[in-house]
Amino acid sequence: MQINGSVALVTGANRGLGRHFAQQLLARGAAKVYATARDPQRIDLAGVERLRLDITDPSQVAAAAARASDVTLLVNNAGIATYTNLISGDMTQIRRELDTHFYGTLAVTRAFAPILGAHGGGAILNVLSALSWFSYDGANAYGVAKAAEWSLTNGVRLELAGQGTQVTGLHLGAADTDMMAGYEGEKADPAEVVRAGLDGLEAGRWEVLADTWSAQVKASLAKDPSEFYVS
C-alpha cells in the first residue's frame, strides 16, 4: 500500500492517535484525507475534509460511505475506554465497548469494503491494543472488545484477500493521549505509534507491534498464562 496519492479516511480524527494519523497521512502525500468524528467541528486540522461519523450509528456510516466513495485507505481508529469490569461493571458500558470497537469497526469495514475493492483493493489499518491479549482488572470490558476487534481484523483479512485489500493491525500499549490521561505508567509518543503503523502498512505487514510492551505481551501467549499474571 502506497500512501502517496491515496485517498484516506480516518475515524476518530479529532484528537489523539486519529489526529496524528490524519496529519501524517497528509505529510506522506495522501491526495485527500477524510477526517471523521462524532462532532466534526472539533477537528482542527487544515487540509482535511471533515465528515460527521459516529461509527455506532448505521445511518451515519452509510452516509459517510456514500460521501467518501473514492477511499483507498481506511483507518479504523475510533474508540472509547469506559474502564469497566465484567462482573461488577454496568452492562450498558460493557455493551458500549463492544458496540464501538467490534460492531462499529465491523460496520465501517463492511461499508467501505466494496469501495476499496472498486479501487483495486486498497488497505485497512485497524488500531488495536496490547489489551487484545491480556486482561487488566479495571478495564476488562475494553480488553474483551479489543480481543474481538483483533479477531475481526484477522477474519476480514482472509475475507477481503480475494479483492486485493491489505489488512494491517496496529497494537500498542499506553500512549500519551487524552484517553490515557489518568494512566500514571510509561506512555508512548502517539506520533511514534502512528509512524510505526503507517510504516508497517506501507511495508505490507499484517501486524505491527508499536512498542516493547506489545511485543512482550504477544510473546507471552505461547506460555502458560500463570507466568504472565503471577510473575
pTM of the model as a whole: 0.94
Cα–Cα distance for residue pair 136/229, rounded to 1 Å: 10
Does 2 reside within a domain? no
Cα–Cα distance for residue pair 210/154, rounded to 1 Å: 18
Domain count, the chain: 1
Query: How many Cα atoms sit within 13 Å of 162 on the Cβ side?
Result: 4
Q: What is the CATH number of the domain that holds 198?
A: 3.40.50.720
Cα–Cα distance for residue pair 157/116, rounded to 1 Å: 13
Question: Both ends of the chain: CA-CA distance in Å?
Answer: 41
Does 186 reside within a domain? yes
Structural domain containing residue 137: 7-230
Cα–Cα distance for residue pair 172/43, rounded to 1 Å: 24
Does 167 reside within a domain? yes
pLDDT digits (tens, 9 = 90+) for 163-201: 999 999 999 986 555 665 555 667 668 899 999 999 999
Does 1 reside within a domain? no
Cα–Cα distance for residue pair 190/93, rounded to 1 Å: 26
Does 25 reside within a domain? yes
Cα–Cα distance for residue pair 90/158, rounded to 1 Å: 34
Digit-by-digit pLDDT tens for the chain (231 residues) are 999 999 999 999 999 999 999 999 999 999 999 999 999 999 999 999 999 999 999 999 999 999 999 999 999 999 999 999 999 999 999 999 999 999 999 999 999 999 999 999 999 999 999 999 999 999 999 999 999 999 999 999 999 999 999 999 999 986 555 665 555 667 668 899 999 999 999 999 999 999 998 999 999 999 999 999 886
Cα–Cα distance for residue pair 110/63, rounded to 1 Å: 13
